[in-house]
Amino acid sequence: MVAADEAKERRGSVLFLLGVWGVGGVERVTVTLANALAARGWRVTIVAFRFDDRALLEGLAPEVMVKALAFPATTAENAKALRALFLAREVGVVVNQWGLPWGVTRLLRRAGRGLGVGLVSVLHNIPDNNGRIAAATGLRRWLWRLLSGLSLRLVYGQSDAFVVLSKRFEPIFRRMTGLAFTPRLRTIGNPLTLAPAPAPKEDVLLYVGRLEETQKRVSRVLGAWRLLAPRFPGWRLEIVGDGPDRAALEAQAADLPRVAFHGFRDPAPFYAKARLLLLTSDFEGFPLVLPEVMAAGCVPVALGTYPAVYDVVRGTNGVVVAPPFEAEGFARVVGDLMAAPAVLDGMAGVAQADARAYALDAVADRWEALFREVAHD
C-alpha cells in the first residue's frame, strides 16, 4: 500500500479537454488513456463543453473526474471555472484534444496563467483537411484551408507541444502552417482501445464508423457491395455505427441483399467475426478501426486517401487501394480476397502480429514521457 501511494505521489495531475463529447474515436482514445494513466497513479480529469452522449463515460475508472463547461467556449466564466479546476486538482498538464480552434488554446493559457500548467495540443485529423474544408468548394475551400493553417500556427505557438498522429503528417503540418522549424511537434499514434474478442470467423464484410458522407463516404461501401453481393451469396455486409446520414444510407441499401445496419454498438464482437473491413473515407487522422480490426484477425481494405493509412496497412496485413475511388476497381480487390480464403487467413495472421505495435502500454509510456517534458516544475 505504501508503494502504491508513493507511486501516485511521483505522478502528477493531467486534464483532457474536448469540445463536444460523443461516441467517436477521440472520446474512446481519451477514455482509454485516462484509465491507463489513472492506473499508473495519475490524477485524471476530463472536461468537455458539451456532453451529447455519455455512453463511453460508463467505462471510465471511478477515480477519473468528469466536468462539464458550456458553450460558447471562450467566455470569462469558462476561464474562471478552468482556473478553479486547475487549482483544485493541482493540474500540471492539459491535453487539448480539440487541437484546431486557436481561441480554445488561448482560453487554456488564460486560465492557467501563473500556475505553471503545461499545454499539449493534439490534432486528431490530417493537418490539411477537416470537415469544413471537405464540405467547401472553390474559393470557400481555399479560404477554409488558409484559416485552418493560420489557426494551427497560432495553436502551435501557444502550446508547449503539439501532437500529430503520424510521422507522415509532420511535413503536411509544416506546409499548412508555413513553419519551417517545428521543434515542439511530436508524433504519438492512437492506442488500441479494445481487447480482441476471440470468435469463429464468418463470411462478413464490415464497416465500423460514423454514418456521414462528407468524410466517411459510406455510400462507397454500399456501391462496392452492389457489385459483390451477386458473386458471393454466402457473404453479408454489416454496418456498425450511427450518424446524420443513416436514413439516406439505409434507403440506398433498401434493394441490396444481406445488409444489416446495427447502429451504435460495441464493435469488438463484430471485429471478432468479420473477415474483411472496408474503409473508404475521403480523409482521416489515425482511424482506430484499422489496428483494432487487425488485432482481431480481420483484414482491412482501405482507400489510400490519407497518409497514415500507409503506417498501418502494408500489403501483407491488408490492402490499400490507390485513390480516386472507383467502385469496380475497389470491388475487384475485395472480391479477389473473398475468393481466396487461404490468402485471407494468412493476411489475418500477419495483421494480428502487426497490431501489437499499438499496444496501450507502449503508447501510455510515450504520453508520460511527453508530460515530463512539458511539465513546469
Query: Which pLDDT tens digit goes with each residue over 197-217?
Result: 778 999 999 999 999 999 999
DSSP E strands, 150-210: 161-164, 185-187, 204-208
Q: What does the domain layout of the chain look like in residue ranges? A: 2-191+359-374, 204-358
In CATH terms, are 2-191+359-374 and 204-358 the same topology?
yes
Residues 6+ apart with CB under 8 A from 322: 304
Q: Alpha-carbon distance 307 to 99, whole Å?
A: 19
C-alpha cell at 105: 488554446
Whether residue 363 contacts residue 315, with contact meaning beta carbons closer than 8 Å, is answered with: no
Percent helix / strand / coil, the chain, rounded to 5 = 45, 15, 40
What is d(CA 231, CA 43) in angstroms, rounded to the nearest whole number? Answer: 55
Burial 169-193 (b: 16+ CB within 10 A, else e): bbebbbebbebeeeebbbbbbbbbb
pLDDT tens, 233-250? 999 999 999 999 999 999
Residue 328: pLDDT over 90:
yes
Beta bridge partners of 186: 163
Q: pLDDT tens, 36-76?
A: 999 999 999 999 999 999 989 999 999 999 999 999 999 99
- Are the beta carbons of 130 and 214 closer than 8 angstroms? no
CATH superfamily of 2-191+359-374: Glycogen Phosphorylase B; (3.40.50.2000)
What are the tens digits of pLDDT across the range 172-190?
999 999 999 999 999 999 9
Amino acid 268 reads: A
| Element holding 120 (H helix, E strand) | strand 118-122
Q: State pLDDT tens for residues 142-172.
A: 999 999 999 999 999 999 999 999 999 999 9
- 204-358: CATH topology is Rossmann fold (3.40.50)
